């Protein structure tokens, strides 16, 4: 039985697994000084069409926390959406690793910040008693399964830069957003004004690991030491980096993300036809959020389905992954229809 609780429930995709196994041959230098890590970093530079700095961390919380810490002094603040994972689901990691930089949540429809919302937070105060705004962080795709368009990112980034702020992107589901929008990775990041991207690998189908991509290379100064101190420097780095090669080599990353998005679309279309269910947000990536009567939620759980009801703005969250099968979506929908009577 496949589950819809998280895209983290899925295993390793075949392309990543093959690259992982290939990297297991023989000895290789440790701590990132190996050919695999070099090749993947070069592939990421080619993918983004720019000479960016690339680092690898074990998970998204560390990638976000350390990236934000590299942009902030302890007296700075980070403007984020009120549903942002960095604020709601990282156990204070960004504040901890930045020695206290404060997160300033802002509201926005469909999980997205707007220039107006950012301006309101930034302009709220400029006195010495207020933590000085230094970063705007955007989640792409958002915590509620929507995506920022290029012009939306550019408008926020223009405002941020004009106000002396940097732009960080939590791209735990960056692949799903790129697949949904059909844009180039460069267009939706540095060309739109993103300074640092945490490019999610785990949800894409890797065994573990995220890439931290600094488009503004001046910001990555000492980042390697930051990673080491935080316990995020893998000694056998090739096993963190090599799976990326399998993903990037023939576009598997986009293929799998597009598949996950298509499965979410299939689920959303099915849900829309069930009167007892109400979709809560536009379904633009690989997540579907629905309001369901409690009896339906209990009924699904009693039949063994796993999904979350504590994420984002509430409702039941169904995530699709690179390996979600149409039959699994249809089986979930069949149970939903039956339970709804
Ligand atoms: C939006 C977002 N950012 C980051 C992460 C990464 O978190 P983790 O530390 O669990 O890898 C997640 C995982 O659920 C997420 O949904």
For residue 165, the model assigns a pLDDT of 98
pLDDT tens track for 67-119: 999 999 999 999 999 999 999 999 999 999 999 999 999 999 999 999 999 99
Topology, domain 13-249: 3.40.640
Average pLDDT, the chain: 97
Pocket-testing residue among 200, 209, 286, 308, ligand 1, by greatest number of atoms within 8 A of Cβ: 200
CA distances from 159 to 103, 129, 154, 185, 206 (A): 18, 23, 8, 21, 35
> Quick check: 312 pLDDT over 70?
no
Report residue 220's pLDDT band, with 50, 70 and 90 as the boundaries: very high
139 lines ligand 1 (CB under 6 A): yes
**Phi, psi at residue 79, to the nearest 5°?**
-85, 125
Measure the CA–CA gap between 195 and 12, rounded to whole angstroms.
29
Report residue 310's pLDDT band, with 50, 70 and 90 as the boundaries: confident
146 lines ligand 1 (CB under 6 A): no
Indicate the pTM of the whole model.
Answer: 0.98
Domain boundaries, the chain: 13-249, 252-340
93 lines ligand 1 (CB under 6 A): no
| Matching residue, tokens 């934000």 | 68
Report residue 311's pLDDT band, with 50, 70 and 90 as the boundaries: confident
202 lines ligand 1 (CB under 6 A): yes
Name the pairing type of β-strands 196-200 and 278-279. Answer: unpaired
Residue minimizing CA distance to atom 5 of ligand 1: 60
Residue range 174-202: average pLDDT?
A: 98
Angle (deg, nearest 10), helices 238-249 and 14-22: 130
> Quick check: 151 pLDDT over 80?
yes
Ligand 1 atom at minimum distance from 6 CA: 14
Measure the CA–CA gap between 131 and 103, rounded to whole angstroms.
9
Percent of the chain with pLDDT over 70: 99
DSSP per-residue codes, 240-252: HHHHHHHHHHTTH
Strand ranges in the chain using DSSP code E only, listed in sequence order: 53-57, 76-81, 102-106, 132-139, 166-171, 196-200, 210-214, 278-279, 287-291, 316-319
> Quick check: 326 pLDDT over 80?
yes
> Quick check: 47 pLDDT over 80?
yes
Q: Is the previous residue joined to 235 through a cis bond, with omega within 30 degrees of 0?
A: no
pLDDT tens track for 114-138: 999 999 999 999 999 999 999 999 9
Per CATH, is 252-340 categorized as 3.90.1150.10? Answer: yes
> Quick check: 260 pLDDT over 70?
yes
């Amino acid at each position: 039985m496949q589950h819809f609780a998280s895209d983290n429930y899925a295993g390793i995709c075949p392309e990543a697994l093959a690259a992982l196994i290939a990297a297991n041959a023989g000895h290789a230098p440790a701590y990132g000084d190996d050919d695999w890590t070099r090749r993947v970093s070069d592939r990421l530079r080619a993918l983004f069409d720019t000479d960016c700095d690339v680092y690898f961390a074990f998970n998204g919380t560390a990638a976000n926390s350390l990236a934000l810490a590299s942009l902030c002094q302890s007296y700075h603040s980070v403007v984020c959406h009120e549903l942002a994972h960095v604020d709601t689901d990282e156990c204070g990691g960004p504040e901890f690793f930045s020695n206290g930089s404060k997160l300033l949540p802002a509201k926005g429809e469909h999980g997205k910040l707007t220039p107006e919302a950012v301006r309101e937070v930034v302009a709220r105060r400029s006195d010495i008693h207020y933590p000085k705004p230094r970063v705007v962080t955007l989640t792409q795709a958002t915590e509620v399964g929507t995506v920022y368009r290029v012009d939306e990112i550019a408008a926020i980034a223009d405002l941020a830069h004009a106000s002396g702020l940097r732009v960080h992107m939590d791209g735990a589901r960056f692949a799903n957003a790129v697949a949904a929008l059909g844009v180039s990775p460069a267009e939706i990041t540095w060309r739109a004004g993103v300074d640092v991207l945490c490019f999610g690998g785990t949800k894409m189908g890797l065994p573990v690991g995220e890439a931290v991509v600094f488009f503004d290379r001046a910001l990555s100064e000492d980042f390697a030491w930051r990673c080491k101190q935080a316990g995020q420097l893998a000694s056998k780095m090739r096993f963190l980096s090599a799976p990326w090669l399998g993903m990037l080599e023939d576009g598997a990353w986009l293929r799998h993300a597009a598949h996950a998005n298509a499965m979410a679309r299939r689920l959303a279309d099915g849900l829309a036809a069930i009167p007892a269910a109400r979709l809560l947000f536009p379904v633009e990536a690989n997540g579907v959020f629905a309001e369901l009567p409690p009896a339906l939620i209990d009924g699904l759980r009693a039949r063994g389905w796993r999904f979350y009801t504590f994420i984002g703005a509430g409702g039941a969250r169904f995530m699709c992954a690179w390996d979600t099968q149409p039959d699994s979506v249809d089986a979930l929908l069949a149970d939903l229809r039956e339970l709804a009577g």
